Amino acid sequence: MTIRLYDTMRRAKVDFVPADPARVTMYVCGPTVYGRAHIGNARPAVVFDVLARLLRHTYGPDAVVYARNITDIDDKIIAAAAAEGVDPKVITDRFEAHYLADMGALGVQPPTLAPHATDYVAERVDAAGRVTGMIPMIADLVAKGAAYAAQGHVLFDVAAPGDYGRLSRRPLDEMIAGARVEVAPYKRNPADFVLWKPSTADQPGWESPWGRGRPGWHIECSAMIAAELGETIDIHGGGLDLIFPHHENELAQSACAHGGAPLARVWLHNGFLSMGGGDKMSKSLGNVVGVDDLLAAGWSGDVIRLALLSAHYRQPLVWSEALLEQSKARLNRWKRAVDDVTLEPLDDLRFAATLWDDLNTPHALSIVSELVSSSPAAAKGALRLLGFYLPAHFDVSLTEEVTVSDQANAIVCNPLVDAAIAARTAARARRDFAESDRIRDELAGQGIVLEDGPGGTTWRRG
Ligand SMILES: [Zn+2]
Question: 157 C-alpha vs ligand 1 centroid, how far in Å?
Answer: 19
pLDDT on residue 244: 94
Of the candidates 235, 270, 305, which is a domain's last residue?
Answer: 270
Domain count along the chain: 2
Question: 168 C-alpha vs ligand 1 centroid, how far in Å?
Answer: 15
At residue 328, what is the residue type? K
Question: 276 C-alpha vs ligand 1 centroid, how far in Å?
Answer: 29
Question: 186 C-alpha vs ligand 1 centroid, how far in Å?
Answer: 25
Considering the domain boundaries, does residue 349 fall inside one? no
How do the pLDDT tens digits run along the chain, 462 residues long? 699 999 999 999 999 999 999 999 999 999 999 999 999 999 999 999 999 999 999 999 999 999 999 999 999 999 999 999 999 999 999 999 999 999 999 999 999 999 999 999 999 999 999 999 999 999 999 999 999 999 999 999 999 999 999 999 988 777 766 655 567 888 998 899 999 999 999 999 999 999 999 999 999 999 999 999 999 999 999 999 999 999 999 999 999 999 999 999 999 999 999 887 666 666 677 778 999 999 999 999 999 999 999 999 999 999 999 999 999 999 999 998 988 888 776 677 889 899 999 999 999 999 999 999 999 988 988 998 999 966 543 333 333 333 343 333 333 345 567 667 877 887 787 778 888 888 888 788 777 888 887 667 877 776
Domain of residue 236, CATH code = 3.40.50.620
Considering the domain boundaries, does residue 425 fall inside one? yes
Considering the domain boundaries, does residue 460 fall inside one? yes
One domain, residues 207 and 62: yes
Predicted model pTM: 0.84
pLDDT on residue 449: 85
Question: 422 C-alpha vs ligand 1 centroid, how far in Å?
Answer: 25
Question: 108 C-alpha vs ligand 1 centroid, how far in Å?
Answer: 19
Considering the domain boundaries, does residue 244 fall inside one? yes
Domain of residue 72 covers: 4-270
Question: 392 C-alpha vs ligand 1 centroid, how far in Å?
Answer: 34
Question: 174 C-alpha vs ligand 1 centroid, how far in Å?
Answer: 24
Considering the domain boundaries, does residue 375 fall inside one? no
Considering the domain boundaries, does residue 420 fall inside one? yes
Question: 33 C-alpha vs ligand 1 centroid, how far in Å?
Answer: 14
Of the candidates 215, 243, 270, which is a domain's last residue?
Answer: 270
Of the candidates 208, 238, 270, which is a domain's last residue?
Answer: 270
Considering the domain boundaries, does residue 448 fall inside one? yes
Considering the domain boundaries, does residue 228 fall inside one? yes
